[in-house]
Chain A
Amino acid sequence: MTSWRRTFPLVTAGLLLVAACGGGASPSPTSAPPETTAPESAAPESAAPVADICTNPPKAEGTTLTFASYGGAYQEAQRKGWLEPYSALTGVTFQESEDSSNATIKAQVEAGQVTWDIVDVGNDFGLDAQADLLEPLDYTKIRKDEILDGFASTYRVADITYGVVLGYNTEKTGGQVPQGWADFFDTTKFPGKRGFWDYSAGGIFEFALLADGVAPADLYPLDLPRATAKLDTIKDDIVFWSSGAESQDLLGKGEVAMAMIWNGRAYSAKNIDNNPVEIQWNGQIVTADYFVVPKGTPNKDAAMDFIAWATCKENNAAPSKYIPYGPTNKLAKADPSKVAELSVSNINDTTAYFDDAWVVENAQLLEDAYQEWKTR
């Protein structure tokens, strides 16, 4: 177990440390520089204990798994890339929920009424703090060594990587290209409103600090007074969004000139809605969504089989055909048409990573500081 406690090679400048993990039995994972950094611990290509699960998953006619994710184009990509092929291979039928939420997992587990078998959650969930709510993943099936370092831990394994990026509306910026978060906070140079996700742990403080000159590696522990002071400088120009679709709409229609936005939503604003939207990759935060299995699901084994299959190198990149979210399996090859659009393809020395363990540990502190600032 303690072998999981290691620091990761510092390949890109934007790197953070693994936080001390709580309790010997379960590690506290953090995000780390993924794929393109070619980590030293490359996975063995040879004999794995469950070699065939990737190409020949166990048949399970009559099994119904409930898959909960975030809906929209995202879930559609997961459906086409994973659920439909898996159904064809195994006979498993999927029932889908499009409203994944940590609150619902908690409610289901506490009520002893678990109806979700596999849940796609954000980077703020699935850590040791939620041990009471989740089943430990079965790493005899899931090939942990092939997953990006730091993206697989006791209760969760990352299924896709994405970036929280600076998106801008080219009509509103009048041909100028914002170079990073410092420009985002400069409303003299770039007039117009700014969109932020209305969530304390979503990146708003991190971006304020990056804009204020903090190096990506020095973000944590977050200097909250400094972050809120920086946010105060543009407070009256901020529009808060609460769903991915809303951010896509605000930026696409130009209600905001720039927005903190998930790279897939910026991509859709540009390529699906045909709006004048571009991404500035400088200062992006590379992060992931994770699979978790709520404690007490009657379909635990079948859920583990699916998760193992979907994180295999053969299958993990399948959704990238439909949406620019990258694989988490180091050996998986993303769809060529989307490679340039992936968060992990655009890593440079301004790239930052969340320290999920710190963020979860200090969630209350973050939330209090955020609300204190927001309602001020």
Chain B
Amino acid sequence: MLLDRSRTGRSGRRDRDDPIVNRWALLAVPPIAFLVAFFLIPLIVVSLRSVTDFPRPAGDALANYGRFFDSAANVRVLGNTFWVAALSTVVCLALGYPYAYLMNIVRPRLAGLLLIAVLLPFWSSLLVRTYAWQVILRDTGIINTFLLDMRLIDEPIPLIRTTLGVMLGMSQILLPFMVLPIYAVMRRIDPEYTRAAANLGAPPFAAFRRVFLPLSLPGVLAGSLLVFVLALGFYITPALLGSPKDTMISQFIASAVQQRLDWGIGSTMAVILMGLTLTVLFVASRFIRLRDVFGSFEES
């Protein structure tokens, strides 16, 4: 019964003129119901709390949004969030593009190893990796202890609680999201194109710049978008490695809800962050296919 389409085969499908709903679709009902109940409803409740949950009686449903934008700190942290996300994207692109290119030109076996080098950390605990950075970057951490022992410095150099620290931690975690989509696109580029350009007399670098680079741009866009959007929501890494100047909006959301019990402002910030994430995705979707972005997970 479930396989009605297969049973009737191609001819059956034509006869029935493409049913709007087939029986396979029924299988999707339980998982959809599950996600609606335990994922979508929580998100809707958060959105509602931003217009219903006030520390003091407020006549205006948008009072929390007013409160949010009244505070210079909130607006600044929002700006920070964008800045840190943009910076991570640039760092990841600078490291990720050459890496993907290398994967594309080496022998398949080596490419496989390079892929594993990306995927192993991709799947290992974010908390563990951030902890490791902490151990390395602290004032009494590996780098500073080494430099002090070598008498290269007298005072520990500031590594942890700096923008540099956040950048190291975040780009290490986000790099796979840049490499995978770029590599996926590069693999699809026919090597004949660059070869043809070279045969027509283009100097090798020009062949790369004029032919290969433009063809790989969809991957670059997909990777950058993915990294940027994921970076917007970072919480653990900036909390452990960053300075107050690198505070990101997720940290504010957590502290509003956990420390100050202010669900109104916490959920307002959540809605704003969500709105920004969706806006970025929407704007980007006009230039690239979102499927390229999500498709990158299939490579993993």
Contact = CB atoms under 8 A, between A and B. Distances in A.
A and B touch in the complex (CB under 8 A): yes
Interface of A: 101-103, 106, 193, 199, 239-240, 253-255, 363-364, 367-368, 371-372, 374-376
B5 to A, nearest CB: 47
A103 B247 contact: no
A255 B72 CA distance: 31
Given A239-B161, A374-B244, A375-B247, A103 B72 contact: no
Given A103-B259, A255-B140, 20 more contacts: A101-B258, A102-B261, A103-B258, A239-B161, A253-B140, A255-B138, A255-B139, A363-B260, A364-B262, A367-B260, A368-B73, A371-B77, A371-B252, A372-B73, A372-B76, A375-B73, A375-B244, A375-B247, A376-B76, A376-B245
Contacts of B36: none
B52 interface: no
Interface string B241-252: 000110100001
Given A102-B261, A199-B259, A367-B260, A374 B72 contact: no
A102 B255 CA distance: 12
B104 to A, nearest CB: 42
Contacts of A367: 260
Could you say which of B77, B139, B252, B262 has the most chain A C-beta atoms within 10 Å of its C-beta?
Answer: B139
Interface in B60-76: 71-74, 76
A376 B246 CA distance: 10
Nearest to A240: B244
Interface string B216-255: 0000000000000000000000000000110100001000
Contacts of A368: 71, 73
A375 B80 contact: yes
Contacts of A103: 257-259, 261
Could you say which of B73, B74, B139, B245 has the most chain A C-beta atoms within 10 Å of its C-beta?
Answer: B73
A375 B245 contact: yes
Could you say which of B161, B252, B257, B260 has the most chain A C-beta atoms within 10 Å of its C-beta?
Answer: B260
Could you say which of A193, A239, A374 has the most chain B C-beta atoms within 10 Å of its C-beta?
Answer: A374
Contacts of B71: 368, 371-372
Interface in B8-46: none
A249 to B, nearest CB: 10
Contacts of A364: 55, 262
Interface in B147-198: 161
Contacts of B260: 363, 367
B213 to A, nearest CB: 39
Q: What 4 A-B pairs have minimum CB-CB distances, sorted nearest first? A: A371-B73, A372-B73, A374-B244, A255-B139
Given A101-B258, A103-B258, A103-B261, A375 B138 contact: no
Judged by DSSP, the binding face of A is helix
A255 B159 CA distance: 13
Contacts of B261: 102-103, 106
B220 to A, nearest CB: 32
A372 B72 contact: yes
Nearest to A107: B261
Contacts of B72: 372
Contacts of B259: 102-103, 199
A199 B244 CA distance: 12
B234 to A, nearest CB: 16
Nearest to B245: A375
Contacts of B257: 103
A106 B256 CA distance: 13
18 contacts: A102-B261, A103-B259, A106-B261, A199-B259, A239-B161, A240-B244, A255-B138, A255-B139, A255-B140, A363-B260, A364-B55, A367-B260, A371-B252, A372-B72, A374-B73, A375-B244, A375-B247, A376-B73
Could you say which of B55, B74, B161, B259 has the most chain A C-beta atoms within 10 Å of its C-beta?
Answer: B259
B77 A375 contact: yes
A374 B140 contact: no
Contacts of B252: 371
Contacts of A372: 71-73, 76
Contacts of B245: 375-376
